[in-house]
Amino acid sequence: MLHNESKDGRINIYALIPIYYQYATSNKFLSNGFVWNHPFLKRFVISSKETNNTTAIVNSKGNYLFLIRISDNAPSVYNPYIVLLEILGLILLFWSMYQIIKQLLYRKKYVFSFFLVLLISVLTDVLFNQFKLFSLTKTSLLFSSNLYASSYLSDTLGTLLIRTFLVTWALSFMRFVSPKINAAKNMTGCYWFR
């Protein structure tokens, strides 16, 4: 911890530097990084090579400790508001697609409805799990292999959660295809007109 006091003694400045592990080798269980894994710390890189972008960190006696620089991907680091907007957008997208496909099924356009359900499910799985385009997949612990041992169904817990949601969402359309429900709706409609 660094401590500095102003000349008049009225202001004390304290700086706490988190511990950064830097190993000679790196794998999925042993990775370089801060002990305290806060999204803010992903904006910085600890380096031993001095460049124009690095800043030297020294202790209270002026002894050199290490170099620090701003990460190249600092603008794309986790932002909770972006994640919230992504989740809200996905909920609205799936709800609107649900309404569209439901209307297609009521009109007995089964092949086109099945194609849309399959297309949306595959596209969502690819965007989330293969390309990892959403901020949620890059920053959430659910999508980290440290939390969940991979299986043939998924490599992370987040992937398993998304695939379970997609299967449930796709199967929810079965109630619009079932002949018993369609027959019951027709009988209910006939009952009201009697």
Spatial contact of 157 and 165, defined as CB atoms under 8 Å apart: no
Which pTM value belongs to this model? 0.56
- The mean pLDDT value of the chain amounts to 76
192 has a pLDDT exceeding 60: no
Per-residue pLDDT, 41: 63
* 93: Cα separation from own chain's centroid: 17
183 has a pLDDT exceeding 60: no
Render pLDDT for 76-103 as a digit per residue (tens, 0 to 9).
Answer: 556 677 788 888 999 999 999 999 999 9
- State the Rg of the chain over Cα: 27
Per-residue pLDDT, 50: 78
Render pLDDT for 13-46 as a digit per residue (tens, 0 to 9).
Answer: 656 566 667 777 777 777 776 666 666 666 677 7
Render pLDDT for 107-131 as a digit per residue (tens, 0 to 9).
Answer: 989 999 999 999 999 999 998 888 8
67 has a pLDDT exceeding 70: yes
